[in-house]
Structure 1
Amino acid sequence: MSLRTAGSVLVVFLWSVAVVLGQDGWSVTYTTQSICTLKGSSVDLFCSYTYPSGYTVTTTFWFTEWGTGIEPEDLGQDPEYADRLEYHGDKKKDCTLKITDLRERDSATYNFRFITDQTRGKYYGDPGVTLSVTALQVKVTYSSWPNWVTITCSTTCTLSNPNPTYIWYKNGQHLDESTSPQYKYSVSSNYEDSYSCAVKGHEDLHSPAVCVQGQRCNRVNYNKMRICVLKWSTVDISCTYVGYYDTTSSFWFRSDKSTPEDLTRDPGYVGRVKYTDKERWRYEGPFTLRITDLREEDSAEYRFTFKTDNIEWGHSFPGTTLSVTGLQVKVTPAAEGQKTLTCITTCTLTDNPTYIWYKNGQNVQGVSSPMYFISSEDADSYSCTVKGRLSSPAVCEYITIVQNST
Structure 2
Amino acid sequence: GQLLLCCKRPRGSPLSCSVPKQRSSWREKSIPEDLTRDPGYVGRVEYRNKETWRNEGPSILRITDLREEDSAEYRFTYKTDNFEWGHSLPGTTLSVTGLLVKVIPAGKGQRTLTCSTTCTLTDNHNPIYIWYKNRQPVKKDSSSMYSISSEDADSYSCTVKGREDLSSPAVYKPKRTSVSVSPSGEIVEGSSVTLTCSSDANPPVDKYTWYFQNKTFPNGFGQIYKISNFKSKDNRHYHCEAWNGRGSRNSTALMIILPECPS
Q: TM-score, normalised by structure 1?
A: 0.34
Q: TM-score, normalised by structure 2?
A: 0.50
